[in-house]
Amino acid sequence: MFTVRSFVFAASALLGFWTAAVEATLRRHDASWAPDSVLYATAANISIDCQSRYSVLLNGTSPGPTLYLEEGKTTWIRVYNKIPDHNLTVHWHGLTARVAPYSDGTPQASQWPIAPGHFFDYEIRPEAGEAGTYFYHSHIGFQEVTASGPLIVKSCEKEPYDYDDDIILNFQDYYNKTDTTIETGLLANPFVWSGETNAILLNGQSGTAQSDNATDKSCLPHIIKVQPGKTYRLRFIGQQVISLITLGIEHHDELTIISADGALTKKAKTDHLQIAPGQRFGLLFKTKSAKEIQKLNQASFWIQYENRDRPANVSGYAILSYELPSDRPSNETSITLPESKPLTLPSEVSDWLEYTLTPYNTTANPFPPSSSVSRTVVITVQQKSNGTLQWAQNGNIWKEANISYPYLTEIYKRGESAIPDYEAALKNYGWDPKTLAYPAKLGEVIDIVWENNNGQSGGWDIHPFHAHGRHYWDLGSGNGTYNATANNAKLDALYIESGWTPATRDTTMQYRYAASGVPNTTAGWRAWRVNVSEPGVWMMHCHIVAHRIMGMQTAWVFGNASEITGRVPEPYVAGYLDYGGSAYGNATYDPLVNHYFDN
């Protein structure tokens, strides 16, 4: 049934399976060398939702500055850790297959963190076809609640969708507790939950207050200015750490999805947006004409956003404001919140755009047919309680504190003895009991299925699962437990009917289909298809940050020791193998850095 697709996938795999070795060079990053961008991480009090919070900031703001990269061009980003008492890393969310091997920003997996008073030079090179919307964030503790920022990869060619301008719309959550308080409680015995988000921020503003009671703009609605009769590309970024958000725009219910998680898709119509932590969506948005605005006698429209499937209901507003010749200066505008909600947004979330999104270009990265699947790894997530609360994946609770050395550095130091035992993993639900990691062989095609168990409490939760490394194909989701035969038949039928194949993603939702039920019941799944082609150490984890801290992470090792270390010969990585090594600079030392990509 998949004869044509099987041939296309096999040909693509033969062409792209073995990544060409990159000629490694070492260079001293002294005064003669300059990075393309610089991020300074500091900790200070900042006003969020019109309240003061001690937070980790990037270049003094939250969100941090927007970074722009180009396809086919190497970009160096220097990150200074000026936080006096905490480590730092930066993860390039959605682009981790395009960074140097030790630049993924995952502590205890691919690199040592940046010590206080030190800096690290990250090397990133997006490939052709990877233009899109991404973001960067700290991968240490709860820091990313504020330590994150947008990242846009520009195309080296004309893109297929036309628009007049683009607008970045960046979501975050606000907690009035400090990072340290939250982290301490999540790891404590007895356990102390972080609590629910206090506000949802859009471009740094919560939209919960109006002009007469706001002490600063951080609690006012964010104003998005547009012109009549234009087409905009709205780049929505889910930098929030817990909230599944649904959003609608007053009198504007024709939205067109054109990208998901950085990859272009064929057009998909929707009347509202839904975005989880870690996700990104690109929308084509056509504004009304000047005549339509005059007919409505309204030039400003509410953007209403709300969370879903959490114990506390949190909402906020932004404003879509048309720029008309008669507009007064913005400093004269007074904002009054609506007395009642202008929109009724859907309460159901589990069916939004399921089995809908498909790649814009299906030949560049062909979908592997079910006949190519080597094995299926079912990962059942369940909460465990023994004084503290933890999240386990097939019984494996993965916390950074339990891993003494980053996997990648150990593979360089100890070779094959540091690689997870493949045969032991096959007998133990996919993971090696000794290393706590999931091994995979290069060339495998693996279906990874996340199944949702409600544990001893009987309550289900939602989980946005994110994969580092190369993007996977999203096979869909559903209630109950996964039936591969039924789901593959569904995918076959969609392909025969319309040529539809799944989109590639890096973050997708494991939904819940009831709030509670009989304890220890598994109900709800999300399935991925992963082409194991990028040697290295890659994390796959829940992007609700509190859940990640509680152990909802899996570490995957793709390839054997020679395949992983062959990407960069050992002499060139010596400075990366120890905490505070020679690849990390400080005020008195210029780092010795490997240049991985060949310009």
Distances (CA, A) of 59 to 53, 408, 535: 16, 29, 33
User: Pick the residue with more confidence: 1 or 469?
Assistant: 469
Q: Which two tokens stand for residue 370?
A: 């079910």
Q: Report pLDDT digits (tens) over 531-575.
A: 999 999 999 999 999 999 999 999 999 999 999 999 898 889 999
The domain limits of the chain are 37-332, 354-571
Question: Average pLDDT of 148-165?
Answer: 97
Q: Do domains 37-332 and 354-571 have the same CATH topology?
A: yes
Q: Which two tokens stand for residue 128?
A: 């052709």
Q: What is the pLDDT of residue 333?
A: 66
Q: Report pLDDT digits (tens) over 392-416.
A: 999 999 999 999 999 999 999 999 9
Distance (Å, rounded) from C-alpha 572 to C-alpha 298? 62
Asked if pLDDT for residue 8 goes beyond 70, the answer is: no
Question: Average pLDDT of 500-528?
Answer: 98
Q: Which residue, 371, 373, 372, 393, is CA-closest to 382? A: 393
| Number of C-beta neighbours around residue 496 at 10 A | 11
The answer to whether 195 and 242 are in contact (CB under 8 A) is: no
The fold of 354-571 is Immunoglobulin-like (2.60.40)
Q: Report pLDDT digits (tens) over 439-461.
A: 999 999 999 999 999 999 999 99
* DSSP strands (E only) in 227-323: 231-238, 244-249, 255-260, 263-270, 273-275, 280-286, 300-308, 315-322
When the pLDDT of each residue in the chain is averaged and rounded to a whole number, the result is 95
Q: What is the pLDDT of residue 5?
A: 52
Q: What is the pLDDT of residue 289?
A: 97
Distances (CA, A) of 419 to 13, 56, 444, 467, 567: 24, 35, 17, 20, 16
Planar angle of CA 273, 549, 281, nearest 5 degrees = 20
Asked if pLDDT for residue 98 goes beyond 90, the answer is: no
Distance (Å, rounded) from C-alpha 449 to C-alpha 327? 53
Asked if pLDDT for residue 463 goes beyond 60, the answer is: yes
Asked if pLDDT for residue 22 goes beyond 80, the answer is: no
Q: What is the pLDDT of residue 7?
A: 44
**Beta-bridge partner residues of 245:** 275, 307
Length of the chain: 599
Q: What is the pLDDT of residue 571?
A: 85
**Candidates 1.10.287.540, 2.60.40.420, 3.40.630.10, 2.30.140.10; CATH matching 37-332:** 2.60.40.420
Residue 96 pLDDT class (50, 70, 90 cuts) = confident
Residue 491 pLDDT class (50, 70, 90 cuts) = very high
Can you give the C-alpha Rg of the chain in angstroms? 24
